[in-house]
């Protein structure tokens, strides 16, 4: 049968023809694949999963000769483990534009029905094009006469972006943490692999100097003689390291080589620092896309998970409320300090830039101010409990001395003073968030640090503070070089006593209000007791009843701050037979390592708070109130967002106007389509 006259040998292997090619721009085959769920199988647009493939050796003439739309459709050959679709046994191919695929022609010598059998993977060093066709910078189509980059990124921009599907965004797991560089920089900034020997200059012995390194070495060798460098081992200048002085030429050469090595290292560090900066030149290759060949490459997602795993979550303890609250304040400020450093470092380090979750630092300040205020409320409540407890204790003699007929009045007086004290303390607590927002804004000068970093990256010697307007000089060394990026920023490192500082500053700022409410309670109660004493003396004529001495004792309710912060009013286990509560052993919890505790040396204490109160006795906190929500007026027209026209509104004036669609606001929609939509835009 195989050799019969009706047999076409091209279909059964006698003329089996292999091919290798590249999947064309997705705009030519994307319509063959449904974008979402459909109700009827008759609405399916495409015929299976098929792709346009530019086969090497057949379609190498370029787009002008054979456009992507004219390329043949290639079917998929699935493995036996995938199934053919029957009984819901199937797998979805993961083919993307730019993939290098290989297969065979089902129709043999006619070469019109290609079948994809497999795909060639990338490695971590593969240079990937960022656009699929007609792009500048060597990313254009490769032909017999036009060389270029064949491999393409899976996130490459197609010739015609889809109108419905949003542009592909790179997930964190695919973002590399080392900034893409050109070939020389990439090789220069890469750490030597284990086992590679180094030459006398500290460089890899298996690689020669590049042009920059050679220039640095030549300059340093000349400067060593001219500048008469000092030997760090002997402290003698190079001119004194001669045979006459007892030093061999070999020793002299080693001193020069060490100097050259240090200068070459400085040059490499400077170039790598500039190349790794987010402000430096940009090169393609910001994605990993290496598949199984590089499973251990660290991506931005790994850094984000690591940062989240290290974030501390405070654990409160009911038996030591004040101490636990102070620890929680310390932990909250540590978390904020970490976020601020990450935010500022993202302007200087590429790894932090790609792994930075785009934090709104003003919102972070606001959130942490509210969190710290929540913990401070515990401390202020404890102070209020202590004050009321002392008040009731010192009032006991007065209650005993008061006639039975008037004790109900004194009971009402105590109740009203308790209610008034609670009301006054609540007014103080309401302002704690604004107070903490002002403290954190002052301590964590994020805007000033941002301006400092920007000025230093631009090589400026000074800058104006964006908040105060003060001119700040950037420090430099004797040679006029900037000492270091971010040296003028004020990022708090959160010392052990920082929680004591925050609490002490807050209490010192509210001290007049606290003293005022305490003094009012004492004075008004004293006046009432003196009136009662006069009334009793006038009616009974007794001489031995000295209500004034009892009233004067009320001054003792002030007590001292240490006693107030250590005051225990009531425990959860009221009776001796009750088991104590199972309190948390740890001070905080992390997702990565579980529970943890602060070292004893870092634990805040009441005496430290009292010292800070005295330190800030005359220093007020500039409160930063929260910005309220802007609400539309009653007759405000609705804000309408349409596909054809985007509506804008002035929430104050109430006027609505339309504006043209912008390309970057629509997720990569083609400019021609935007122009068409704008020309037909109708206000709705």
Average pLDDT for 381-401: 79
Residue 659 has pLDDT above 50, yes or no: no
Band of pLDDT at residue 161, cut at 50, 70 and 90: low
Query: What are the CA-CA distances from residue 410 to residues 116, 137, 232, 329 (Å)?
Result: 95, 89, 85, 40
* Chain segment 395-448, per-residue pLDDT in tens: 777 777 777 777 777 788 888 888 888 888 888 888 888 888 888 888 888 888
Output 503 or 557, whichever has higher pLDDT.
503
Question: For the domain 9-167, what is the CATH code?
Answer: 2.40.50.260
Helix, coil or strand: residue 118: strand
Decide if 124 contacts 130 (C-beta within 8 A): no
Average pLDDT for 93-122: 88
| Cβ neighbour number for residue 308 with a 10 Å cutoff | 12
Average pLDDT for 135-147: 57
pLDDT of 53 reads 92
Output 639 or 428, whichever has higher pLDDT.
428
Question: CA 419 to CA 409: how far, in whole Å?
Answer: 15
In 3D space, the residue among 251, 237, 445 whose CA is nearest the CA of residue 336 turns out to be 445
Residue 75 has pLDDT above 70, yes or no: yes
Average pLDDT for 137-161: 67
Average pLDDT for 655-677: 43
Band of pLDDT at residue 102, cut at 50, 70 and 90: very high
* Chain segment 505-538, per-residue pLDDT in tens: 888 888 888 888 877 777 777 777 777 767 666 5
Total residues found in the chain within this entry: 684
Question: CA 221 to CA 263: how far, in whole Å?
Answer: 9
Q: Of 264-278, 284-298, 484-498, where does the model show the most confidence?
A: 264-278
Position of tokens 């409990």? 385
Band of pLDDT at residue 545, cut at 50, 70 and 90: very low
Residue 143 has pLDDT above 70, yes or no: no
Domain boundaries, the chain: 9-167, 183-276, 311-444+491-615, 629-684
Question: CA 18 to CA 116: how far, in whole Å?
Answer: 10
* Chain segment 597-627, per-residue pLDDT in tens: 877 666 667 777 777 777 777 777 777 777 6
Band of pLDDT at residue 643, cut at 50, 70 and 90: very low
Residue 223 has pLDDT above 80, yes or no: yes
In 3D space, the residue among 551, 559, 558 whose CA is nearest the CA of residue 398 turns out to be 551
Question: CA 196 to CA 637: how far, in whole Å?
Answer: 71
Decide if 288 contacts 180 (C-beta within 8 A): no
Average pLDDT for 464-481: 76
């Amino acid at each position: 049968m195989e050799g019969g006259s009706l047999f076409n040998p091209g279909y059964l292997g006698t003329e089996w023809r292999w091919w290798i090619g590249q999947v064309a721009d997705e705009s030519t085959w994307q319509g063959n694949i449904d974008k979402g769920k459909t109700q009827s199988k008759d609405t399916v647009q495409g015929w299976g999963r098929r792709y346009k493939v530019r086969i090497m050796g057949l379609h190498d003439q370029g787009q002008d000769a054979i456009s992507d739309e004219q390329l043949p459709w290639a079917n998929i050959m699935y493995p036996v483990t995938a199934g053919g679709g029957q009984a819901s046994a199937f797998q979805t191919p993961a083919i993307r534009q730019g993939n290098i695929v290989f297969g065979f022609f089902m129709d043999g010598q006619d070469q019109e029905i290609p079948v994809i059998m497999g795909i060639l993977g990338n490695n971590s060093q593969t240079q990937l094009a960022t656009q699929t066709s007609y792009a500048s910078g060597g990313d254009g189509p490769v032909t017999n006469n036009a060389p270029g980059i064949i491999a393409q990124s899976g996130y490459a921009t197609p010739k015609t972006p889809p109108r419905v599907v949003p542009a592909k965004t790179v997930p964190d797991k695919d973002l590399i943490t080392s900034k893409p560089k050109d070939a020389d920089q990439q090789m220069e900034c890469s750490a030597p692999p284990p086992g590679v020997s180094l030459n006398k200059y500290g460089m890899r012995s298996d690689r020669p100097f590049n042009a920059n390194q050679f220039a640095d070495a030549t300059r340093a060798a000349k400067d060593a003689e001219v500048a008469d460098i000092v030997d760090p081992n002997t402290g003698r200048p190079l001119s004194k390291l001669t045979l006459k002085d007892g030093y061999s030429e070999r020793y002299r050469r080693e001193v020069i080589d060490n100097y050259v090595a240090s200068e070459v290292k400085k040059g490499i560090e400077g170039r790598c620092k500039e190349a790794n900066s987010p402000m430096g030149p940009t090169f393609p290759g910001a994605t990993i896309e290496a598949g199984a060949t590089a499973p251990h490459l660290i991506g931005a997602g790994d850094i984000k998970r690591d940062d989240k795993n290290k974030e501390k979550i405070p654990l409160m303890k009911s038996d030591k409320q004040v101490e636990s609250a102070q620890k929680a304040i310390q932990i909250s400020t540590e978390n904020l300090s970490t976020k601020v450093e990450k935010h500022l470092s993202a302007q200087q380090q590429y790894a932090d830039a790609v792994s930075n979750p785009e934090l709104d630092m003003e919102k972070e300040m606001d959130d942490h101010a509210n969190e710290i205020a929540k913990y401070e409320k515990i401390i202020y409540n404890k102070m209020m409990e202590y004050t009321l407890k002392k008040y009731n204790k010192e009032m006991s003699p007065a209650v005993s001395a008061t006639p039975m007929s008037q004790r109900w009045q004194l009971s009402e007086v105590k109740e009203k003073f308790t209610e008034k004290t609670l009301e006054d303390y609540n007014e103080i607590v309401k302002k704690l968030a604004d107070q903490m927002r002002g403290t954190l804004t002052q301590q964590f000068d994020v805007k000033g640090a941002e301006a400092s970093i920007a000025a230093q990256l631009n090589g400026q010697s000074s800058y104006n503070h964006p908040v105060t307007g003060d001119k700040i000089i950037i420090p430099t060394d004797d040679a006029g070089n900037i000492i270091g990026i971010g040296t003028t920023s004020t990022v708090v490192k959160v010392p052990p006593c920082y929680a004591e500082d925050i609490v002490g500053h807050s209490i010192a700022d509210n001290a007049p209000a606290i003293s005022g409410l305490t003094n009012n309670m004492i004075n008004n109660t004293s006046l009432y007791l003196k009136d009662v004493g006069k009334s009793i003396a006038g009616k009974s004529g007794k001489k031995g009843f000295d209500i004034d001495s009892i009233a004067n004792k009320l001054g003792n309710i002030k007590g001292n701050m240490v006693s107030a912060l250590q005051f225990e009013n009531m425990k959860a286990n009221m009776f001796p037979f009750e088991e104590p509560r199972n309190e948390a052993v740890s001070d905080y919890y992390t997702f990565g390592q579980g529970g943890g505790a602060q070292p004893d040396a870092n634990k805040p204490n009441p005496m430290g708070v009292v010292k800070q109160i005295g330190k800030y006795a005359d220093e007020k906190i500039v409160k930063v109130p929260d910005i309220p929500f802007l609400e539309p007026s009653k007759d405000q027209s609705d804000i309408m967002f349409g596909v054809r026209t985007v509506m804008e509104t002035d929430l104050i004036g109430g006027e609505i106007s339309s504006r043209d669609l912008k390309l970057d606001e629509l997720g990569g929609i083609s400019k021609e389509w935007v122009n068409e939509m704008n020309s037909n835009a109708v206000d709705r």
